[in-house]
A and B are shown apart, each in its own frame.
Chain A
Amino acid sequence: MNRTVLDLWVGSFVIAGIGALLFLALKVGSMTTVNATDSYEVVADFQNIGGLKPRAPVKSAGVVVGRVADIRFDNQKYEAVVTLRLDKRYAFPKDTSASIMTSGLLGEQYVGLEAGGDSMNLKNGDRILITQDAVVLENLIGQFLYGKAQEGKAQEGAPK
């Protein structure tokens, strides 16, 4: 086999392989893994995080603005401490609230941020004070049943 033909083939092979890698990186995966240099971290405490996992997206108005970096349990307050790694391009006021949401009925859970009105922005290491816990299905059903029961009692009592 001619040397140049061989080189050409191997060159095309390498280009195709790297092309496939780029395709995987850009089109299949979200290259938007925020790395440490252009991000900042804030923490938020939750009483219940439901099924939230590290690397879950952090969204604001439906746009991914960061990822959950770490989840710990605070043994003093008996609360979950969630570290959020946010993209530097997005700044949020100090009184931003964080809540744990579910995409769809059975979808993955993510952290939703809702901006407040403070003039100061969150900085690296700050704490989000207003949080809303994950909705736990069992509690929801329990509340619903309890509410129904209350309703029923009220109706029973009414005709008397």
Chain B
Amino acid sequence: MLRQAIERLGNRTIQGVWRIGYASRFFVAMLLHSGTAFRRFGLTIREMYFSGVLSLIIILVSGLFVGMVLGLQGYETLQRYGSESALGTLVALSLVRELGPVLAGLLFASRAGSAITAEIGLMKATEQLSAMEMMAVDPIARVVAPRFWAGVISMPLLAALFSAMGIFGGYLVGVRLIGVDEGSFWSQMQGAVDFEQDILNGVIKSAVFGVAVTTIALFEGYDAPPTAEGVSRATTRTVVTSSLAVLALDFILTAFMFRGLN
């Protein structure tokens, strides 16, 4: 019994390490074969349509609602201390620093990441990747790398749109609906939000999330067993793993970025 348990643990560990190594090699190969993605930028633009444009609706709607909820809840809390005028600051800082990149990253993982895994997995299952290889075209350069760069470019834009939409939602609820003073809403926000510390860091965060989510999605698809079951499991794993990766990376990045602040 014990021996079996230890063996199983050992087996799991070896497999885990092997997979991490394989994924790192995949990542490096993807970076090395990125030339095509830029030389023929049309390929990347095409993928930006699928991962970026098609994620727009969910990002914009979620952003609006999150902002509106922040406006309501923030007002509720702030008015107890008589500082409703800080509502803009609260909404903007929470969105720009955390909620924008993180929620956009999570939505991106479930909307675009799962689609990428399913697509690559199916291309593998139907031998399209093998066919490409036999036609002397490297699938990593032709299929994988453009999707990677499309994700990395799209993600910060989506996060920015999410934050902007959220601030607009907070403005709608806070200023239009509840009647917080419009001037102090914006001016307090501008006084508190710093371009470099808050906005730029948010952009960096979302770019890192883009790298993580697309890499996981592409790897899971590329590594999926070429069966219907294998692809569906890989898709689930993409959503779970990349969501966890977004949250964990968010903690690490936040710890680094805002360490010196307070």
Contacts and interface: CB of A to CB of B under 8 A. Distances in A.
Direct contact of A and B (CB under 8 A): yes
Interface of A: 1, 3, 6-7, 9-10, 12-14, 16-21, 23-25, 27-31, 33, 53-55, 57, 64, 104, 106, 108
6 A-B pairs with the lowest CB-CB distances in the bound complex, closest first? A17-B157, A20-B164, A20-B160, A29-B193, A20-B161, A21-B160
B156 interface: yes
Interface string B85-111: 000000010001000000000000000
Main secondary structure of the interface of B (DSSP, over half): helix
Contacts of A3: 42
A106 B81 contact: yes
Nearest to A15: B157
Nearest to A11: B45
Given A6-B49, A10-B53, A25-B199, A17 B161 contact: yes
Given A13-B157, A14-B157, A20-B164, A25 B195 contact: yes
B203 interface: yes
A85 to B, nearest CB: 13
Contacts of A28: 92, 96, 163-164, 167, 189-190, 193, 199
Contacts, number: 97
Given A24-B164, A55-B194, A9 B157 contact: no
B196 interface: yes
A19 B165 CA distance: 11
A10 B44 CA distance: 10
Contacts of B253: none
A17 B159 CA distance: 8
Contacts of A53: 261-262
A28 B193 CA distance: 7
Give the bracket for the number of chain B residues in contact with chain A.
35 or more
Nearest to A105: B82
Contacts of A57: 191
A20 B45 contact: no
B250 interface: no
A7 B261 CA distance: 42
Contacts of B48: 10, 13-14
A29 B156 contact: no
B56 interface: yes
Contacts of B192: 108
B210 interface: no
Contact of A24 (B163, B260, B261): B163
A10 B195 contact: no
B90 to A, nearest CB: 12
Interface in B188-233: 189-199, 202-203
B164 A10 contact: no
A82 B191 CA distance: 20
